[in-house]
Amino acid sequence: MATAAVQAPPLREYPVIPILARDAMAGSRPYPASEKMNEALGFPGKLVDGWREKAVLKIGELVAKNRGLRVFLDACVHCGACTDKCHYFLGTGDPKNMPVARQDLFRKVYRRYFTLGGKLFPKLVGAEDLTESVLEDWYRYFNQCSECRRCSVYCPYGIDTAEITMAAKEVMDSIGVGQKYTNEIIGKVHKIGNNLGLPGPALKNTLETLEEEVKEETGQDVRFPLDEKGAEVLVVTPSADFFAEPHVYSLVGYAKVFHAAGIRWTLSSHASEAANFGVFIGSQAQMKAIAGRVREAALELGVRRLVVGECGHAWRVAYSFWNTLIGPFDFLDSRYPVPQHICELTYDLIERGAITFDREKNDAHVVTFHDSCNVARASGMGGLPRGQFIIPRAVIRAAANHFHDMAPETIHEHTFCCGGGGGLLTDELLELRVKGALPRMEALQKVVDEHGVNFMATICAICKAQFAKVLPYYKFDMGMIGGVHQLVSNAIRLGRND
């Protein structure tokens, strides 16, 4: 809200492990979903009678079905390697935001009901009953994990902590304890087709406005086609790309790439969303229903290729899960990656000389790249090892002269979450978001000081919205954040394909 007085922690020259601040974030609590929002997803509207027994049954169901989850719950030896790897812990100092401690909120309940030691001697093995106060801790602290999986990179057992957060959210949804931001949005996708609730006619109007604007700026008829049957490529992108700044500048970039390369493409009003918040709440059923729209649109429009725009977790879902959720894709052109990331597509065109740039048009920008967690730690690109790190940077370097990476321990698979991922990009969690951005802001400050960096490019709609909001808290200009295809848009030569 307008008067929210959130203070950013001071940037430190040498980041060190913070002094513990017990319960510092105990007051951080997202708004609960309304009954209507929960019921629209098939969840109980509010906390059900007999919730404890039902929650325990649900945990049993999850660990029986998901062997990975069971291993992650059993294997932790509390070595502590993860403790100082979480941006929320580093930014808040709340010990329950140490990944091991946060996951133990779930693990101790699992132990109580599903392990012999926990059943017989709960106190000896750190097992605990699922009480109201434990459930309250779950709601508060599992909504302080952005499922970024940085801690997992450092875990000697390879425990995927995000899986535990997702399981906790799945259990909570199953007993009527849903979170408003994610559940309201998923409902909108089912009903209208995108996170914003942007209906077809509004989308059409928005795209027409963009066509007019780009025509005024460039003199070229760069098109933003919607629902065009027979197009070669269907682009599925976050609806924020239609709606918000800086996101929209990347959408303009995609359109210019297709224009310059002479590829017929289209957007879809049925699948007008790449984001898939089903993954954030750990729900396979929601993920499948959301992704299903993409398959339906691709078949209906008769496209031969599927391309995903700049959205971090959407690329994880597309790259890692689409095949099982909505495959097989035997109707698509197998000469191209299925699905393909917009950066892969642009990179391929650059490599083949099909698009070229006037790099000096980006000379006002000294650029760095923020690796988005889901792209960095849960996907690949271009079929080459570490392609998800190499390709976006190669696209930036093709479009801009000045590029500097941030410190190695803060990029690639070590990247820090922007602080707003995993379904936490909501105003009532602003304090958490500002504090969680601390490690990234410290790394950014270094390249600002050393190289005069003034633009941080990224390929995720959440990162863009989160940084646009929190950068000013750290005395940076909100215009410093933008998309990789925003840089492409600035510098691409449009040629004579109009």
Partner 1 sequence: MAINVAGKSIETDEEGYLTNLGDWSEEVANEIAKAENVDMSQNHWEVVNFLREYYNEYQIAPAVRVLTKAIGKKLGPDKGNSKYLYELFPYGPAKQACKIAGLPKPTGCV
Contact in structure between 387 and 395 (CB atoms under 8 Å): no
Out of 153, 428, 451, 494, the only residue in the binding site for partner 1 (CB under 8 A) is 428
Residue 194 CB, shortest distance to partner 1, in Å, is: 7
The residue range among 77-85, 125-133, 200-208, 333-341 that interacts with partner 1, by the rule CB under 8 A, is 200-208
Taking CB under 8 A as the binding criterion, the range among 62-70, 141-149, 209-217, 334-342 that sits at the site for partner 1 is 209-217
d(CA 183, CA 46): 13
Instruction: Select 126 or 197, whichever has its Cβ closest to partner 1.
Output: 197
Alpha carbon distance 448, 433 (integer Å): 21
* Separation of alpha carbons 465 and 245, rounded Å: 8
Amino acid at 267: L
Q: Which is nearer to partner 1, 212 or 358 (CB)?
A: 212
How far apart are the C-alpha atoms of 229 and 463, rounded to whole Å?
32
Residue 392 vs residues 34, 364, 397, 410: alpha-carbon distances, Å: 40, 20, 9, 16
Residue with tokens 């808290």: 473
Q: Where are the alpha helices (DSSP H) in 76-222?
A: 87-92, 99-114, 116-120, 132-141, 150-154, 161-174, 180-192, 200-218
Token pair, residue 271, equals 């699948």
Q: Among residues 95 and 176, whose Cβ is nearest to partner 1?
A: 176
Note whether 141 binds partner 1 by CB under 8 A.
Answer: no
Binding part of the chain for partner 1, among 62-70, 112-120, 187-195, 258-266 by CB under 8 A, reads 187-195
Quick count: other Cβ atoms within 10 Å of Cβ 96? 20
Comparing CA positions, the residue from 478, 466, 479, 475 lying closest to residue 87 is 466
Q: Binding residue for partner 1 (CB under 8 A) from 210, 343, 432, 443?
A: 210
Comparison of 137 and 428: residue with beta carbon closer to partner 1? 428
**Binding of partner 1 by 461 (CB under 8 A):** yes
- Which residue from 145, 465, 470, 481 is in contact with partner 1, where contact means CB under 8 A? 465
Residue 198 in the binding site for partner 1 (CB under 8 A):
yes
Please identify which residue in the block is written with the tokens 């800086």: 246
Query: Does residue 349 belong to the site contacting partner 1 (CB under 8 A)?
Result: no
Which residue in 271, 303, 311, 448 binds partner 1 (CB under 8 A)? 311
Contact call for residue 71 and partner 1 (CB under 8 A): no
Residue range at the interface with partner 1 (CB under 8 A); choices 10-18, 181-189, 286-294, 354-362 = 181-189
Among 170, 184, 344, 371, binds partner 1 (CB under 8 A): 184
Cβ 242 to partner 1 shortest distance, Å: 6
59 near partner 1, judged by CB under 8 A:
no
**Dihedral-angle region of residue 50 (phi above 0 means left; psi in -120 to 50 means alpha; beta otherwise):** left
**Distances in whole angstroms, Cα of residue 214 to Cα of each of 159, 198, 488:** 47, 22, 14
How far is it, in rounded angstroms, from Cα 46 to Cα 36? Answer: 9
Pick one of 97, 144, 195, 372: the residue that binds partner 1 (CB under 8 A): 195
Choices 101-109, 116-124, 236-244, 294-302; region in contact with partner 1 by CB under 8 A: 236-244
Residue 194 touches partner 1, criterion: CB under 8 A: yes
Taking CB under 8 A as the criterion, which residues in 142-171 touch partner 1? Answer: none
CA 137 to chain centre: 24
H/E stretch holding 306 reads: strand 305-308
Please, which of residues 211-230 interact with partner 1 by CB under 8 A?
212-213
- From CA 276, how far away is CA 166, in angstroms rounded? 14
To partner 1, the closest distance from the beta carbon of 378 in angstroms equals: 17
Farthest-apart Cα atoms in the chain, separation: 76
Residues near partner 1 (CB under 8 A), total: 41
**Interface stretch with partner 1, choices 147-155, 168-176, 233-241, 287-295 (CB under 8 A):** 233-241
SS3 32: strand
Of 103 and 372, nearer to partner 1 (C-beta) is: 372
Under rule CB under 8 A, which residues in 240-299 are in contact with partner 1? 240, 242-245, 247-248, 275
Interface with partner 1 includes 5 (CB under 8 A)?
Answer: no
Burial 210-238 (b: 16+ CB within 10 A, else e): bbeebeeebebebbbbbbbeebbbbbbbb
**Applying CB under 8 A, which residues contact partner 1?**
1-3, 31, 181, 184-185, 188, 194-199, 201-202, 205-206, 209-210, 212-213, 238-240, 242-245, 247-248, 275, 311, 425, 427-428, 461-462, 464-465, 469
